[in-house]
Structure 1
């Protein structure tokens, strides 16, 4: 398996065909999906026929170093979720490279998302020479917002979109977080 990046406790690697069950479990978990898209778990057929092939295609189609990477625990090899760097396409984002993450509930509260997000932001600025990292979530998703903050991103704005099927909390809007390479380097140099 092709390792993309390692952290103290995790390996980030490209997804392989062997990961479809893990991705299905992640995207099919109601707690994982409650603040994403329509708030509902994604059926296995959608993961197998649309999402998983899309993730694999991105390794060839996106600029080098970008894509969605499976996060596994170093000590056990257990699948934890995924982290990603991709061109910003989420609703409300305009430019930059988007940081994304989705973890199984068994990994929540243990610092894995923050550890991976910090590693990706560092990698994006030092190795990939990206200029700006952005991320978005629902305003009410405080856990995800905290990960963004710990990874060095700052709140840029709260915005409101019209959703066909608004989910609980949508009335509070969404938030955009971002950090530029210049700001990130200045903070790093002060440490």
Structure 2
């Protein structure tokens, strides 16, 4: 399987139809789904008809997929996925950053490591101008990953939740990072190759 991106500890590769069981297991963990569905697992049918087609979709504007299976390089173990998806299918300028990791992978820095690498690749190689990310306001761990990846709080807003999830009454937050800010930070850090 070709690797899209490698970090010190992770390999991000395109999903295949053979990943359906991995996705079902990931979305079946109530802790993982806490801020998405209130802990309700995703059904196998939904994984097959909605999740799998979404992660297998190729975006013509970047020539890549928008979701990547994340595996530990040392063990090959599936730890979750990263999203780096164009908001509009035919324009690479604005992408959404996301991540969903197995609970066993939490607290190891994988989310930050993968997010930073995707941000760098997006700005350096994929023609991205703006990276955005969203989460519930109460999801402090995810917010911290966004900040460590270089994104800054852009706004707070009230989301439209079809089913109320505990904490949704506090709203959602959007973070963003523009290419110019990314390049400025890299130059200030001594990396002159933006």
Partners of 1:139 and 1:175 within 8 A in 2: yes
CA change 1:145–1:72 in 2 (3 A) is same
- Supply the distance in 1 between the matched residues of 2:60 and 2:21 (Cα, whole angstroms): 24
Task: Give the conservation status (yes or no) of the 8 Å contact 1:114–1:151.
Answer: yes
Q: For the residues of structure 2 that align with 1:180 and 1:27, how far apart are their CA atoms?
A: 31
TM-score, with length taken from structure 2: 0.90
Structure 1 SS opposite 2:75: coil
Q: CA deviation at 1:73?
A: 0.2
- 2:164 corresponds to which residue? 166
Structure 1 residue runs of 5 or longer lacking an equivalent are 90-94
Rounded to whole Å, the distance in 2 between the matches of 1:70 and 1:135 is: 18
User: What is residue 58 of structure 2 aligned with on the other side?
Assistant: 59
1:1-191 counterparts in 2 under 5 A? 1-37=1-37, 39-56=39-56, 58-59=57-58, 63-88=62-87, 96-191=94-189
User: 1:99-140, CA deviations, whole angstroms, 9 ceiling, x for partnerless residues?
Assistant: 011000000000001000000000000011210000000000
What's the CA shift string for 1:40-88, capped at 9, x where partnerless? 21111110222112321x1265631341000000000000000011123
Name the stretch that deviates more: 101-110 or 41-50.
41-50
Aligned residues: 185
If the length of structure 1 is used for normalisation, what is the TM-score? 0.91
Tell me by how many angstroms 1:166 deviates.
1.4
Q: Distance in 2 between matches of 1:175 and 1:105?
A: 23
Higher mean alpha-carbon deviation, 116-125 vs 39-48, is at: 39-48
Q: Name which of structure 1's ranges 133-142 and 23-32 shifts more when overlaid on structure 2.
A: 23-32
Q: Is the 8 A contact 1:32 1:102 kept in 2?
A: yes
User: Which consecutive unaligned segments of at least 5 residues does structure 2 have?
Assistant: 190-194
RMSD: 1.6
Give, in angstroms, the shift of residue 10 of structure 1: 0.5
Q: Retained in 2: the 8 A contact 1:88–1:134?
A: no
Whether contact under 8 Å (1:65, 1:128) holds in the other structure is no
Q: Is the 8 A contact 2:59 2:86 kept in 1?
A: no
Counterpart Cα distance in 2 of 1:160 and 1:39 = 20
Kindly state the Cα deviation for residue 6 of structure 1 after the two structures are TM-superposed.
0.4
Q: Which runs of 4+ in 1 moved over 3 A?
A: 60-63
